Amino acid sequence: MKKFYKVFLVIFIVFVAINLYAINWQTDILADEDNLKFVFSAAAGIIGLILLFVMDAWSRIGVKK
């Protein structure tokens, strides 16, 4: 994994962790408006992680040996 991808990996992991920490787990997750913004932010971070691994895999495929 290149340094570029590692930087974004750390950023996305921290981003998801902060949003998961901010969710109030005692209330209904999707009913509370405050929770909803953290859930969507965490989901965006997870999608970013998935795209990061896809881009890393594509960059490895494109490299000629």
Q: Could you read off the pLDDT of 32-63 as tens digits, one per residue?
A: 888 999 999 999 999 999 999 999 999 888 77
Confidence of residue 65 (pLDDT cuts 50, 70, 90): low
Domains of the chain, residue spans? 3-62
In single-letter form, the type of residue at position 57 comes to: A
- Helices 3-22 + 33-62 axis angle, to 10: 160
Check whether 64 has a pLDDT greater than 80. Answer: no
Give the number of residues written for the chain. 65
In this predicted structure, what is the pLDDT of residue 6? 93
Candidates 24, 18, 5; CA nearest to 45 is: 18
Candidates 49, 19, 51; CA nearest to 34 is: 19
